């Protein structure tokens, strides 16, 4: 590469000759730096995957290599990719196979060389001091730097997250009509939901300027300015940049040049556009700043923090922009499950713009009841005799002082298992004081009952005998195991009682009893097609336990007595007291012998590690 010192637009730079190139390397990646070393142009590895790179300009003289421009944020390059300054004067980025990922289209003039300037601008120069064929300042991403000017028709686009450089959900447009507008847009298509801030300068604005004194303003035709941010911090003493952050707020950051290599230094917010972002996105579409089922609050620096409503968790902790999901199964509408849910309270929190029903005047207890009885109601908010109902997904949530109380509907009992916690008295009444016995097992007796609900639900209540350590373990195992499963060929555990010495389990009632009784006791024997149906149902249930559950479950006691039949002779696997959960990736486990004589696989007796095969031993 030929190197010489030249001057253009009052910027001294190092000439990068035609034919020069950079490569994306996983060890040491070369760069083109500005004369002072303040800025560098190179492949930058992604923090989440260091084998992928974006072509970027960044602050080079500080430990925190802050990116101010990128070329391929939505299409990271693989290791081995190459950037070439072609003989024709274009920047051409190709992957290891030679396919083009990105290119710069020069606007005109014969390119003689390229340069990384000390103001952070990368240029394709023509040799004429006042003309560049292409420059990064004219193709901004999310950032504007001191001395940079954006003309009418330009835009800044926020990245999706701090670590994801693909186009995000917010734009600043310097519109051709002279108005400076902040837009909320859909990811990934860029469809505009509408503006959430405007300078109201239609017909007046000419360009957006970041001047040397540290202010960002919209220059107006009458030689005045509309200030977006205002600062008196000198560019001599501080690095500065202004960026449209992923949360939709334009902020101006500074970093001291004194002791700039110190690890104690950090970017700090100098100023920002006057926007309360949590309350700004009031649109018919979209999720708000914090995506669905979450809410927004501001920290001490006025940056937005996204959190999930009580009873909800992030879909992906590493990518919180995906929003939150319920930690429980949603309320069903085909049966009355109002007694299976309760409320978590959150003060001064609201999802204000997406109510589907309102009541007034009303008290809080009535508001709670109306939401519980409505299977579509996920949250009710109550304030001063007003009650609003909201359905999923929740949008535009925020902390809002004085907004009253949010009532978050969640399932009763353990949120991991989504089971109802019954009192002993409730199950005693449901079984008419344990009157009708359905069967007996090694650890207890099963009784028929009816839950006091609308409509009434028939249940089978297993009452465990003396609560010894072994029985307590079986009880906890059954609750935790079957409580996290949902399949038509498994018996549904509706709830439990864990009160004092009493341990009871409430299941849905199976009218045809056990397969053992159906096969071997009096009455007509099942026909061949019924036997097939039952066998296939058992197989589907076992397949679900072994292959489709989040954690593999080995039942350990598959036998006719533990297969129940519903009204339509659909097989349901039951009795998970001896089941064994395997961790993710685990395929075998060592455990003491368990099961029923005559149905136990031989590996149990050999003290070998057991696998899911023990459930299909014949």
Quick check: is 557 catalytic?
Answer: yes
Sign of CA dihedral 264, 270, 273, 275: positive
Give the span between the Cα atoms of 584 and 582, in whole angstroms. 7
Q: Cα separation of 273 and 247, whole Å?
A: 13
Using left for φ > 0, alpha for ψ between -120 and 50, and beta otherwise, residue 298 falls in: beta
Nearest Cα neighbor of 504 from 472, 463, 445 is: 463
CB 209 within 8 A of CB 219: yes
User: Are 12 and 19 in contact, with CB atoms under 8 Å apart?
Assistant: no
- Tokens 């996983």 sit on residue: 26
Question: What whole-number distance in Å separates Cα of residue 476 and Cα of residue 576?
Answer: 10
Torsion angle, alpha carbons of 230, 234, 235, 241, to 10? -30
613: tokens are: 């095969």
Residues contacting 524, CB < 8 A, separation 6+: none
For residue 372, what is the enclosing H or E element? helix 364-372
Q: What are the tokens at 41? A: 């142009």
Pair type for strands 397-399 and 294-298 = parallel
Q: Which of 164, 557, 566, 567 is catalytic?
A: 557
Say if residues 57 and 67 touch (Cβ distance below 8 Å).
Answer: yes
Of 559, 561, 558, nearest to 579 by C-alpha is: 558
Nearest by Cα to 478 from 556, 538, 560, 542: 556
Six-digit token string for 239: 């690095």
**514 contacts 562 by C-beta, under 8 angstroms:** yes
d(CA 114, CA 85): 8
Q: What is the side-by-side order of every strand in the sheet holding 143-144?
A: 143-144, 238-244, 250-256, 268-272
Strand 238-244 and strand 250-256: pairing? Answer: antiparallel
The sign of the CA dihedral 339, 327, 581, 611 is: positive
Which residues, listed in sequence order, are joined to residue 181 by a DSSP beta bridge?
Answer: 173, 198
Query: Known binder of ligand: residue 463?
Result: yes
Cα–Cα distance measured from residue 71 to residue 531, given in angstroms and rounded to the nearest whole number: 64
Distance of CA 492 to the CA centre of its chain: 29
Collect all residues with Cβ–Cβ distance below 8 Å to 93 and sequence separation of at least 6.
Answer: 55, 71, 72, 77, 81, 82, 83, 100, 101, 102, 103
Those residues whose C-beta lies under 8 Å from the C-beta of residue 137, and which sit 6 or more positions away, are 120, 121, 145, 148, 149
Strand order in the sheet with 304-308: 304-308, 294-298, 397-399, 349-350
Classify the C-alpha dihedral 308-310-314-315 as positive or negative: negative
How far apart are alpha carbons 189 and 568 in whole angstroms? 48
**Residue 211 CB: number of other CB atoms within 10 A?**
16
Active site residues: 557
Q: Which positions make up the binding site?
A: 463
Q: Which positions make up the binding site for ATP?
A: 463
């Amino acid at each position: 590469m030929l190197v010489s010192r030249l001057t253009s637009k009052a910027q001294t730079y190092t000439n990068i000759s035609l034919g020069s190139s950079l490569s994306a390397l996983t060890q040491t990646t070369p760069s083109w730096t500005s004369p002072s070393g303040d800025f560098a142009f190179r492949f930058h590895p992604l923090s989440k995957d260091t084998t992928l790179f974006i072509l970027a300009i960044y602050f080079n003289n500080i430990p925190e290599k802050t990116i101010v421009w990128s070329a391929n944020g939505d299409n990271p390059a693989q290791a081995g990719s190459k950037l070439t300054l072609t003989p024709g004067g274009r920047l051409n980025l190709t992957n290891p196979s030679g396919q083009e990922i990105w290119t710069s289209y020069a606007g005109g003039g014969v390119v003689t060389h390229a340069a990384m300037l000390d103001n952070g601008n990368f240029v394709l120069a023509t040799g004429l001091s006042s003309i560049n064929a292409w420059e990064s300042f004219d193709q901004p991403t999310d950032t504007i730097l001191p001395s940079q000017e954006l003309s009418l028709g330009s835009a800044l686009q926020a990245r999706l997250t701090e670590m994801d450089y693909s186009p995000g959900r917010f734009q600043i447009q310097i519109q051709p009509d002279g108005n400076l507008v902040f837009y909320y847009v859909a990811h990934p298509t860029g469809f505009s939901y509408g503006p959430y801030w405007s300078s109201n300068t239609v017909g007046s604005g000419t360009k957006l300027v970041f001047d040397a004194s540290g202010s960002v303003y919209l220059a107006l035709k009458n030689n005045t300015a509309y200030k977006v941010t205002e600062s008196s911090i000198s560019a001599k003493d501080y690095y500065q940049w202004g960026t449209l952050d992923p949360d939709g707020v334009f902020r101006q950051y500074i970093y001291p040049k004194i002791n700039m290599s110190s690890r104690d230094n950090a970017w700090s917010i100098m100023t920002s556009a006057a926007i309360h972002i949590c309350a700004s996105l009031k649109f018919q579409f979209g999720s708000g700043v914090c995506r669905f089922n979450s809410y927004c609050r501001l920290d001490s620096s006025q940056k937005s923090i996204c959190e999930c409503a009580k009873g909800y968790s992030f879909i992906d902790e590493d990518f919180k922009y995906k929003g939150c999901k319920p930690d429980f199964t949603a309320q069903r509408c085909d049966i009355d499950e109002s007694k299976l849910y309760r409320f978590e309270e959150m003060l001064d929190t609201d999802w204000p713009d997406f109510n589907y029903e309102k009541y007034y005047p009303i008290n809080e207890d009535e508001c709670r009841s109306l939401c519980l009885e409505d299977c579509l109601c996920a949250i009710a908010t109550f304030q001063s005799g007003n009650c609003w109902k909201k359905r999923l997904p929740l949008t535009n949530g925020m902390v809002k002082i004085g907004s009253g109380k949010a009532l978050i509907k969640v399932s009763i009992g353990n949120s991991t298992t989504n089971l109802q916690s019954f009192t002993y008295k409730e199950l005693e009444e449901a079984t008419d004081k344990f009157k009708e016995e359905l069967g007996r097992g090694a650890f207890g007796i099963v009784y028929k009952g009816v839950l006091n609900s609308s409509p009434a639900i028939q249940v089978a209540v297993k009452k465990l005998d003396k609560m010894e350590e072994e029985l307590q373990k079986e009880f906890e195992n059954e609750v935790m195991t079957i409580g996290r499963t949902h399949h038509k060929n498994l018996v549904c555990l509706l709830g439990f009682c864990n009160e004092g010495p009493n341990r009871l389990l409430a299941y849905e009632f199976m009218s045809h009893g056990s397969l053992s009784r159906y096969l071997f006791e009096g009455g007509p024997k099942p026909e061949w097609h019924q036997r097939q149906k039952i066998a296939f149902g058992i197989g589907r249930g076992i397949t679900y336990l072994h292959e489709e559950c989040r954690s593999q479950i080995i039942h350990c006691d598959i036998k006719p007595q533990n297969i129940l039949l519903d009204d339509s002779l659909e097989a349901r696997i039951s009795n998970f007291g001896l089941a064994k959960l395997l961790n993710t990736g685990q395929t075998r486990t060592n455990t003491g012998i368990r099961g029923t004589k005559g149905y136990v696989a031989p590996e149990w007796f050999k003290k070998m590690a057991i696998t899911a095969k023990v459930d299909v031993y014949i």
